[in-house]
Every structure is written in C-alpha cells, then in structure tokens.
Structure 1
Amino acid sequence: MNAAGMTKAALLVGTTEVERFRLLVEAVTDYAIYMLDTNGIVTSWNAGAERIKGYKASEILGRSFANFYEEADRKAGIPQRVLAIATRDGKFQAEGWRVRKDGSRFWAFVIIDAIYDNGELIGFAKITRDLTERREAEEELRRSEELFRRLVEGVTDYAIYMLDPDGIVSNWNAGAQRIKGYGPDEIVGQHFSIFYTDDDRSRGEPARSLAIAEREGRFEAEAWRQRKDGSRFWANVVIDAIRDPSGKLVGFAKITRDITERREVQLALERTREALAHSQKIEAIGKLTGGVAHDFNNLLTVVLGSLDLLRRYLPNDDPRVTRLLDNALQGAQRGATLTQRMLAFARRQELDLRPVDLVELTRGMRDLLQRSLGPQIAIETRFPLPLDYVMADPHQLETALLNLAINARDAMPAGGILTIAARNEATVADAPLRPGRYVRLTLRDTGEGMDAETLTRATEPFFTTKGTGKGTGLGLSMVHGMVEQLGGQLILHSKPGEGTTAELWLPAVEQAAATEPSEAGIRTIAQSRALTILAVDDDALVLANTRAMLEDLGHTVVVAYSGEQALERLERTPTVDLVITDHAMPKMTGSDLAKTIMARRPGMPIILATGYAELPPAAESSVPRLSKPFRQDALAEAVANAVRTSREASP
C-alpha cells in the first residue's frame, strides 16, 4: 500500500474511534454530557442530558446553558462566573440547585472542563449528575442527627455525654448539668473520674468500668457518684463502647441517672418488710412463749401448792427436810419469776395499772440500784421539774429498771456512769407510736456498747451475750413486752465503744390524787367460816392441787374439768358459795363460764385463775383474778376478798 492509501486507512480508523466515543457519550443516561462554546452556548447533547434536564437536543442546542440555572443565580451572574473560573483554572466543580425544562429543581453535581486547541480556548465540556436523592437522604440524615442532638441536649432526667477512648468528656447535655452540677465549659475536656468518690478512685473504679465496656461492649452498675458541690447521689450508670466500621474504639457513650429517691424508697420498703418480718417473728415467738408460760404456770401451781402443803404436814424438827423444802420452794419461785418474764415478753402478764411518778419511783429505787451496780458505777439522775405521770404497773416498772441497770453494770466491768433521765414528749400522726403525750425515760451507760447484729437481736427472747448461768436472755425482752403492753415503746441505741442508751416511751397521764391503802387491803384476811367452793380447771393436776389447798383451809370442794361440767355441778349443788375457775379452757373459757353463772346466779362470787392478761374487758372489770402460779396464802386471800366484795355489793 502506498503512502496515500495508508493515510486514508488511518483517517478511517480515527473516524471510527471518534464515532464510537460519540455513540458512548450519547448512550450514557446517568450523566448529562454536553459541550458549550466559549460563550456558553450548548453545542452537543446526550441522552443523559435529555433525561436529567428534560430538553430534547432540538430544544436546547444553540441556547445558553444559563437556562439550567435558577433566575436568582442568573441575575447574580453565576453562569458567567462559572465559565470564567473554568477558563482561568481549567476546571470548575461544584454542587447546587439547577432547573429542568418543566421548572422543577434538582440538586446537581457539575464539572466544567475548559477545552483548548493549540492553547486557544475553543469551548467547554460539561458533565452534570442528578444527586437530588442522595442529597435528600443526606439532608434527612442531617435533620435526624440534629433532632437527635437536640433531643439528647434537651433531656434533663438523664446525664448523656460522650467520652473519648481515654475517658475525657467530649460533650455535655442539660441533664448532665442538672444532675452533676457542672456547666459544659467546666467539664468538657476533663476526665470523667471527677464524678467518682475518693474511695472509688483509689480503687481504680473509673479505669475498671472503661476496661469492662471496651472488652464486653457495655458496663452497667449502681453506685455513689459525686456532684460539683461535693454532695453524693446514688447513680445508675451505663457505659457503651463506640466503634467505627473497622472495629476501632473511638470512645464511649455514657448515661447516668440519679436514682437516689428510688433507692431511698426501696430501702424504706426493705426496712418495712424487715420490721414486719421481725414483728411477725416476735409475735409467733410471743404466742409460743405465752403458751409455754401458761402451761409452766399450771405445773408451778401444782409444785408450789404441794410444797406448801408438805411443809405443813411434815414435821419441822428435821433441819434437812426443812432445808430441802425451802430449796424446792425457792427453785419453784424462781421458775415462777421466769414465767413472769416470759409472759411480759409475750405481753400477757397481769398489770396493776395506775399513775406513777417516775421521779419518786426512781428515788425510791436508788439504794437498791446502787447495791446492784456496785461501788465502781456512779448513778446520775436528770429529771425536769414539770414531769408528767405515766400509766404503768409500778412493780413491773421497777423490775424493768432493775433489769436495764443490771445490763448496764455487766457492760461496764471496769466501772462507769449510769445516767437515768426523763422528759415529756409528744408524738404526731406519722410517728411509730400513736399520737399523744409520752414520758421518755432514758438509761444511758458508758459501757462497751453493742454491734449492729447484737443490737438487732437484743430484745429477742433467750438471746444473751453473757456466759452460761449469767443471764436468761429474757431481761430486755421482758422490758420490751411490758412497755408495749402499756402502749409504749422500747428503743435501743448502741455502738461498740460508745455505750448503750435504752429509751422507754411510756404513755403520760394526769397526776392522780394519792390514796392510802385501807387496812383491809394490806392485811392478810382470814376466812371466818367454811365455804362450799366449785373449783374448775381442765388440768387434772392443777385441779387436784387447788382442791387440796382449799380443803386444807377447811372448805368443801366440788370439782369440774370443763365449763359445761361446772354448770351441771352448779345445778346439782345449790349450796355452792363461790366458784374459782381457770380462764384458758377449751370450748368454754373461764370468762364465758363466769358470764353464764352471773346470769343464772347473780351475786355469786367468782375468781378467775389465769396466767394470762388477755381477758375480755367485762370480765376484767367485774371478776377478780388470781394469777398463776399461786400459793395457799394467795388462794386464801383471794377467796376471802371475793366473799367480802360480794357481801358488800349485796343490798
């Protein structure tokens, strides 16, 4: 092939490549690709330009590309400025709003390249892409992020903020400022360990929490945290690790909530539950203790009565027999004292209530207390002049004070001071005690004190920290039961090394006029004549013992083992002068029996023998009682008093 043929072939090949490029450009539909002359007049148009901008080639060729701009941009000379930049820099690139043929807008990504031929500008190549959907997605994301940011910043119940990987605070919301007290300018850039207590920082808690969050992705805990002013609050804390798409740790999201009030409510609920459980436990123990004491009183009634009779029947010229009988009587009496303490704890002891002057009662006990405490312990008393009287059983109150004093003595082996004080108090509706006037009697020692566990169990029956044989564990429980039976409360305060304070809150009453006991009330009343007595008890041993003691006193005794049987005996024995009945019997109690007898035989003397204080109010006011265990002299006096009272009441 000659030179002319080769040149013609090359032109054909070149023409083919140009044509292919043109066909390629015109076939592109995702991009608007077209040419402009130096004045911005459209000189070519592809399918993508038609699809994106809406113009056909015949509609736009020969027209200025400024038609694609918004009117405001045209008036501002933006099209001319764009071409000037492309001319100067060789290229212009930007994103902005453009206008389609129908007037609708779209967000366009635009590239304009200056085209030169031998250094002379001959036009511009322009590529436009419709990014409206992407921009809308980005805008939606931006709006969502802005909304989330405002939401987080506006939350006031939670402290929500970010930490960098080292624990430095990087942002701060309104809730964080409200809960922790720091403004953003005070805390951003600071390490988050500033919120921890000194103890937590010394144990490395901040670093540990971040390490757990980094390792496990999340850390959650409840603990004390510290505000700017140094005050503490109970916080629920959540720390989440934040990672980029590659998994690299970029920081932590931290949420803190102040749940101090919720914790206090939970603790109060737990204390209430514990108090209820303790109350139920004490109530159950009280019922058991009262029942055991009642049965034990029946046995002691038999033992004491039988020993009294033996002492009368056996010759007293043998000192060994006398000594053995005395020992047996003392042992039985100690058992009776123990049952009284058990009944006091169970709030079922007999109480002789009357107005009591605590100042006089304490003054009268001072010598006894000092002898019981010993010379190493000093007694100090602090009583105000205007001190109300209290409604109490003076003998039981003396026993309670003596028990507390002995406990104080045992807590001060090296000596110390026992301070006895009192003051008038008043309670309101939300107090543990019912509203009213009280006298708070306080015994405070300077002894060893008790730890929290011992203090919690101090009033439990049979609980003692003393050695074997040195305490029954019923002293404080007796005081507790007696005070509650009076309608008051025993409160103990103690810490190891700080001594113990016992507070007896006793109901206050108006001062009563002093009365002198009558001669009949203080002397032993002898029975003037023999009586026919109906004795009733479901315990055969007690009944046999009561019968023996009454017959030894010269009375004729008819026995019955139940209330129903007693009514039958009463019908068949019209000569009965007096009825003595146990109270705690099945089916028909002694109180029920007394009501029936009083309805059938008005004026019949009746005595209720019981180890309990739980009698109906009617029986309590109208029927005399004989407390178990009783000895023969107490039985004789009860019979004589019942007959005398019945005679005085007769018209």
Structure 2
Amino acid sequence: MSASSEVLYSMSADWSEMRQLTGGGFLADTGSANPRWLTDHIPDGEQARVAAAIQEAIRNKAVFSLEHQVRLAAGGIGWTQSRAVPLLGPAGEITEWFGTANDVTARRAAEEALRRLNESLEQQVAERTADRNRLWTLSKDIMLVAGFDGTIQATNPAWAESLGWPEDDLVGRNLFDLVHPEDLERTAACAAAIAGGQAFKRFENRCRHADGTYRWINWAAGPGDGLIIAAGRDVTEERTIADVLLRTEEQLRQSQKMEAVGQLTGGLAHDFNNLLTGITGSLELLQARVAQGRVGSLERYISAARGAADRATAVTHRLLAFSRRQTLDPKPTDMNRLVRDMVDLIRRTVGPAITVQIVGEPELPPVLIDPNQLENALLNLCINARDAMPDGGRLRIETHHRTLDCHAAQELEIPAGEYLTLCVTDNGTGMTPEVIARAFDPFFTTKPLGEGTGLGLSMIYGFARQSGGQAHIASSPGQGTTVCLYLPPHAGRPVEEEPSLDPAEAPLAQQGETVLVVDDEPTVRMLVTEVLEELGYTPIEAADGAGGLHILRSNTRIDLLVTDVGLPGGMNGRQMAEAGRALRPGLKVLFITGYADNAVLGHDHLAEGMQVMVKPFSMELLATRVREIIAEA
C-alpha cells in the first residue's frame, strides 16, 4: 500500500480526535491527535455534508463510507474515498473507529473532464442537429431521403414551393413515378449505382410538378445508411436560357458551316473535276483506240477510269456516313482481330518514322458493326494521326471494355451501360478547343486547299452514331490527340470471314431463271440487264414501282426482284417489294440503292430473303450476289 495514496487512521467514538496510524502523504499534516479534525481537514463547503454522514453512521453504528473533498498536504483541495468501521464495546456501545482514506483526486479530475467533454459533445450534436434541421427546413433546394427502390421516406418543405408537392403527398410514394418517361431509364441506372456505393455530384432529369408539367432538376446524390440521400435544384430556367444560347450557337455554327462549305466547295469541285476528267478522258481514249483498232493498250485506260471512279465513290460514302444515311451491313465482329488484320496496312500507310503500338484488351465480346466501315474509320484515324506527326512519333491503337455510369454517359450523350472502345492516340501537334468543337463538322478541315475535303472525322462520327455509339476527342495543343469510338457490345459470336468468290467465276443461271429489274435510271437498267443476260438469266425491265408491280401481278416467272429503293410515281422499291411478296410469298428481293434511311430500309427490318447492295458496285459483284440469293434454300 502506497503511503502517498492511502492513510490508515483511528477516530474517537464521537470523531472528535483522529490518529493517523500509517501514511500521511496526501492529507494535510495536523498532528497525531487533533480535536479539530473536521474543520482542519475538510473544506468549508463540504463540512456539513461530511458531518451529516458521520452522525448517520454513529447513530446506526454502521460503516461510514463517503467520497468527499479534503485539504491536500501539497496545498489545495483534493478528493478522498473515506471508509471507517465502528469498534463496539461489551454493551454494544461504540468505543473507537478504524478507517482508511484513499486519494481519488486524479480519478475525480478525469471523471469531471469526461463529464464536461460529454456535455460539450452533446451540445455540439444538438447544435449540428439544429443546423441540419434549419437547413432542411429553410433550404430552397429540394431534399429527400429514399430507399434504393425509389420509395420516398422524407422530403423537405422546398418540394411544395418548387414542385407543388407537400410532404404528406410524397412520403411512401415512389420517386420514379415523378420522373419523366424519357429520363426514367437513366434515373434507375443512377439509383442502382448509388446502391452500389457510388455518389453523383451532378445528375439532371425532369420531375413532374403537381400541376402536371415537368421541371429540370440538377441532383447531387449518394448513399447513406442504406438509403439514397439527395438534394436537387430547379434548373429549368437555366436550361431554357441554355437552350436559347445553344440554338443561337447552332445558328452561328450553321452560318460558319455554310461559309466553310462555300469556301471548300471550290476545292471539292476541283477534286471531282479531276476525277471526272480521269473518267471521261479514259473513256474517250478507249473509244478512239477501239475505233482505230488499237486494242493492245486498252487496259490502262480502263484501270485509270476505274481508279478515278473508286476515289469518287469514297468521297460520296463519306458524305453519306456523316448524314447517317449510308446502308450498313452490321455483323458480330471481333474488334481485336480486325485491328490485328489491319496492322500491316496501317504501318505501311503511316510510314517508318512512326512507331505503331497495338494494345488489345483480351477476351472482348464482339461488337455488332459493319466491319468494312470500321476498317475505314480506323484507317482514317491513323492517317489523321500521321498528318499530326510530320516529323514522326508514336501511334497507339487500343481496345477496351468499359462501363459508363449515367454521369459519364450523359457527358457522351449515349445511354449508360457497357461499351467497347477503339482508341487511336498520337503524340503529335494536338488540337485547340476551338478545333475540337468543329472537328466533326462536315467539310471542316485544317488542311490546305486541295489536300482534303474535311470529311474524314465527320464520316467517322456519323458511322459511330448510326451504329448506336459515339465518337469522342481528347486533345490539347502540343500534347497529342486521342480519338475514341464507343460501340455497344453484341451477345452473339463473331462471324467468321467467308472466302470471297472470284467474280470472274460467277455461276451461270439455271435454265429459265428470270430476274425483274426495276430502276428509274436507264443506264443502270442497261448495265444490270446485260450482265444478267451474259450469265444466262432472262431479265425483265421496269422504270418505276407501278410498272414493276404490274409485272409481279402477271403469271410471268420471277425468281428474283432487283429494285432501287427510291423510285418515282408514288411507290418506292420497298413498298413494291412488300406488295409483290403479298402476291408471291417468298419472293426474293435484292435492293440496290445509293443510300438507305434506316427508317425505310434498316437491316433490322429486312425480312428473310431480302438483301441490299449499295451503289456504286461492280457488275461482277452483282452477278455473284444474284446467284447467291437465288440459290439460297
């Protein structure tokens, strides 16, 4: 037992005298016997309480036990735990008390500090709760607490002011019932993301006002205690102003675009005049050589005309791609394999001064895409990258599988979900924000006159959008450029590449097979019918939909209908084909078209036994396709 923390003492029966038996460290030294023990050892404020406890113990001849203040030997006031036991005489009277006094000053100080801390914390919690309650009540922003399934558990008064809904009308209701139908899928995706632990600083959707109209709300939301905690601000007016500004900006951009078209039309016409000169000049020389009987060098004129026509075809395809009115032939495609198959061509195209690196994420699902158009897009991006690195550099082609949350998808203006990306990165000159803003515009180009039509990136953008995806540019001057195509994955398996047939070996017709050719362009009808006749088919011609339908109504044998989509006379090729199939169930149809609007002629809407070819096409390829369609079981 430490002398400094405990004192053993004896007291007279009436507690008038005290004798310390051991110790004496922490109590004030008042001598071995002291008739003034109470007044000398106990502070004035405690004397009455201690005296009452002593008298209670004497009266009941019971153990005295009390925690009270005492005067300390070192000066000042401390605390002691006093306990004394009465010693009884033969007659049961108290003859003496023996007791201990333990120093509990440090413990009492710690308890007092803890008490004050608790009181302070309680006060802070109360103040913060009051602050939150005031914020909840006074905020002009709407606030809510909802379950992950959308069930509203609490709303603040701002709902009534902003959207006309009092809390009693909202609690227990599902938040999704108030969301605009067009925004419901995005909102549900965000709620699922919040359930997974994600928070959103900015998410906009339209919520229904009590009067039935919709208001744009900018939300900040996140998870908390198994619930959605969200605060929203009405940004309808800001959106309205923004829409006006966007329309004004779009009008300005349209004006700039028309100015650019005006500036570049000369260059485009110049390019086409060169191409037409190559075609017409080659044909004139070909005609002259045939008339002269000099047929030994005809092949080079034919090749020159064909090459010029192919280049003109590429320009028109880019225009159609930007307008999203090209006819695509989507197939489940392995994007990694497509990139690998193009590596040699890309390296030859960009030249030895540029290092090409391929990074493909393994085991990517296929993408439903027109593989030829994707190859063209990739090659165009690599050519742009090459032009941005005139002194050489690094070209990186990457494929990835990415998940876009609703915020990222909103920034890209595509639905949230899974996407495959094909990204081309260079370390070249880069682009300014002004150039990026116009990079996808048709005819916009930073190249000098005669070095490009400005259709490359616009074609890529149109192709990506038409395929259900998006194209995005990240760049800054001097830091290089990254262009990424976002394309939705496909659940099916990639289509294996089929060996192409040699057009020169196109199979001949079976005896009696008849093909109805409907096109309003006489030259096209002439070329198609001559090819068919050479292969042994019996061709029948019609110049419009009404004439073609008249033949279909007859008893004439028709094994295949070859028709343009855009026909004069009030009936297009698709309508004629559908009417013909009603008369001749199972009639096989090959559409030939310069472009096809998806709403009229999309692959998702083509019935079995119907196919499409895009003009211009080679006559050899037409012959092969006709034989394949007729021969299909």
Scaled by the length of structure 2, the TM-score of the pair is 0.52
Instruction: Give me the whole-angstrom Cα distance separating, in 2, the residues matched to 1:337 and 1:570.
Output: 36
**Alpha-carbon distance change, 450 to 520 in structure 1, aligned in 2, over 3 angstroms:** closer
| Aligned residue among 331, 334, 337 for 1:357 | 334
| 2:467 equivalent in structure 1 | 486
Instruction: Give me the whole-angstrom Cα distance separating, in 2, the residues matched to 1:273 and 1:474.
Output: 24
Question: Residue 279 of structure 1: CA displacement?
Answer: 10
| 1:436 equivalent in structure 2 | 417
| 1:565 equivalent in structure 2 | 547
**Alpha-carbon distance change, 272 to 383 in structure 1, aligned in 2, over 3 angstroms:** farther
| 2:580 equivalent in structure 1 | 597
Corresponding position: 1:632 with 2:619: yes
| 1:548 equivalent in structure 2 | 530
Please give the root-mean-square deviation of Cα atoms over the aligned residues, in Å: 4.1
Letter matched to residue 395 of structure 1: N
| Structure 1 SS opposite 2:339 | helix
Instruction: Give me the whole-angstrom Cα distance separating, in 2, the residues matched to 1:375 and 1:423.
Output: 27
**Alpha-carbon distance change, 570 to 353 in structure 1, aligned in 2, over 3 angstroms:** closer
| Aligned residue among 552, 571, 574 for 2:556 | 574
Instruction: Give me the whole-angstrom Cα distance separating, in 2, the residues matched to 1:364 and 1:557.
Output: 40
Question: Residue 452 of structure 1: CA displacement?
Answer: 2.6
| 2:317 equivalent in structure 1 | 340
Letter matched to residue 598 of structure 1: R
Letter matched to residue 485 of structure 2: L
Unaligned runs of 5+ in 2: 1-138, 141-234, 260-267
Instruction: Summarize the alignment of residues 255-266 of structure 1 with structure 2, pairs less than 5 Å apart.
Output: none
| 1:619 equivalent in structure 2 | 606
Instruction: Summarize the alignment of residues 490-569 of structure 1 with structure 2, pairs less than 5 Å apart.
Output: 490-510=471-491, 512=493, 515=496, 517=498, 525-529=506-510, 531-569=513-551
Question: Residue 352 of structure 1: CA displacement?
Answer: 2.4
Letter matched to residue 483 of structure 1: A
Deviations 1:361-394 (A, max 9, x none): 2222111111111111111233333533322122
Letter matched to residue 410 of structure 1: D
Question: Residue 266 of structure 1: CA displacement?
Answer: 7.9
| Structure 2 SS opposite 1:612 | coil
| 2:360 equivalent in structure 1 | 383
| 1:464 equivalent in structure 2 | 445
Question: Residue 611 of structure 1: CA displacement?
Answer: 2.1
Q: Which has the larger radius of gyration?
A: 1
Instruction: Give me the whole-angstrom Cα distance separating, in 1, the residues matched to 2:422 and 2:255.
Output: 27
CA contact (8 A) 2:402 2:420 kept: yes
**Alpha-carbon distance change, 284 to 627 in structure 1, aligned in 2, over 3 angstroms:** farther
CA contact (8 A) 2:504 2:620 kept: no
**Alpha-carbon distance change, 500 to 583 in structure 1, aligned in 2, over 3 angstroms:** same
Instruction: Summarize the alignment of residues 117-128 of structure 1 with structure 2, pairs less than 5 Å apart.
Output: none
Instruction: Summarize the alignment of residues 47-446 of structure 1 with structure 2, pairs less than 5 Å apart.
Output: 269=243, 272-273=246-247, 318-429=295-406, 431=410, 432-446=413-427
Instruction: Give me the whole-angstrom Cα distance separating, in 1, the residues matched to 2:495 and 2:618.
Output: 31
Instruction: Give me the whole-angstrom Cα distance separating, in 2, the residues matched to 1:486 and 1:282.
Output: 28
Instruction: Give me the whole-angstrom Cα distance separating, in 2, the residues matched to 1:601 and 1:386.
Output: 46
Instruction: Give me the whole-angstrom Cα distance separating, in 2, the residues matched to 1:618 and 1:514.
Output: 20
Instruction: Give me the whole-angstrom Cα distance separating, in 2, the residues matched to 1:541 and 1:518.
Output: 31
Deviations 1:287-333 (A, max 9, x none): xxxxx9xxx9xx99xx99x98xx89x969963443221221111112
**Alpha-carbon distance change, 420 to 515 in structure 1, aligned in 2, over 3 angstroms:** closer
Instruction: Give me the whole-angstrom Cα distance separating, in 1, the residues matched to 2:574 and 2:351.
Output: 47
Question: Residue 349 of structure 1: CA displacement?
Answer: 2.2
Question: Residue 524 of structure 1: CA displacement?
Answer: 5.1
Question: Residue 591 of structure 1: CA displacement?
Answer: 0.9
Unaligned runs of 5+ in 1: 1-155, 158-260, 286-291
Letter matched to residue 322 of structure 2: F
Question: Residue 464 of structure 1: CA displacement?
Answer: 1.7
Question: Residue 455 of structure 1: CA displacement?
Answer: 1.9
**Alpha-carbon distance change, 274 to 417 in structure 1, aligned in 2, over 3 angstroms:** farther
Instruction: Give me the whole-angstrom Cα distance separating, in 2, the residues matched to 1:480 and 1:278.
Output: 21
| Structure 2 SS opposite 1:509 | coil
Corresponding position: 1:641 with 2:622: no
Deviations 1:495-545 (A, max 9, x none): 221211101111122361664638989995412335332211122332233
| Structure 2 SS opposite 1:508 | coil
Letter matched to residue 619 of structure 2: Q
**Alpha-carbon distance change, 571 to 263 in structure 1, aligned in 2, over 3 angstroms:** closer
| Aligned residue among 590, 607, 630 for 1:607 | 590
CA contact (8 A) 2:518 2:562 kept: yes
| 1:63 equivalent in structure 2 | none
Deviations 1:77-121 (A, max 9, x none): xxxxxxxxxxxxxxxxxxxxxxxxxxxxxxxxxxxxxxxxxxxxx
Letter matched to residue 611 of structure 2: P
Deviations 1:558-606 (A, max 9, x none): 2211111112233456133322111112311111111111111123332
Question: Residue 414 of structure 1: CA displacement?
Answer: 0.7
Instruction: Give me the whole-angstrom Cα distance separating, in 1, the residues matched to 2:473 and 2:510.
Output: 54
Letter matched to residue 461 of structure 1: P
Question: Residue 278 of structure 1: CA displacement?
Answer: 9.0
CA contact (8 A) 1:427 1:433 kept: no
Aligned residues: 374
| Structure 1 SS opposite 2:616 | coil
Letter matched to residue 583 of structure 2: R
CA contact (8 A) 2:420 2:489 kept: yes
When structure 1 is superposed on structure 2, of 271-280 and 454-463 the one drifting more is 271-280
| Structure 2 SS opposite 1:460 | coil
Instruction: Give me the whole-angstrom Cα distance separating, in 2, the residues matched to 1:358 and 1:416.
Output: 25
Letter matched to residue 605 of structure 1: K
Deviations 1:136-162 (A, max 9, x none): xxxxxxxxxxxxxxxxxxxx99xxxxx
| 1:450 equivalent in structure 2 | 431
CA contact (8 A) 2:471 2:484 kept: yes
Question: Residue 609 of structure 1: CA displacement?
Answer: 0.9
Question: Residue 631 of structure 1: CA displacement?
Answer: 2.0
**Alpha-carbon distance change, 340 to 282 in structure 1, aligned in 2, over 3 angstroms:** farther
| Structure 2 SS opposite 1:624 | strand
Instruction: Give me the whole-angstrom Cα distance separating, in 2, the residues matched to 1:483 and 1:280.
Output: 22
**Alpha-carbon distance change, 519 to 348 in structure 1, aligned in 2, over 3 angstroms:** closer
| Structure 1 SS opposite 2:442 | coil
Percentage of matched positions with identical amino acids: 37
Instruction: Give me the whole-angstrom Cα distance separating, in 2, the residues matched to 1:630 and 1:484.
Output: 25
| 1:200 equivalent in structure 2 | none
Letter matched to residue 321 of structure 1: L
Instruction: Give me the whole-angstrom Cα distance separating, in 2, the residues matched to 1:338 and 1:620.
Output: 31
Deviations 1:112-136 (A, max 9, x none): xxxxxxxxxxxxxxxxxxxxxxxxx
**Alpha-carbon distance change, 280 to 603 in structure 1, aligned in 2, over 3 angstroms:** farther
| Structure 1 SS opposite 2:606 | helix
Deviations 1:383-431 (A, max 9, x none): 3335333221222111111100000000100111112223222234452
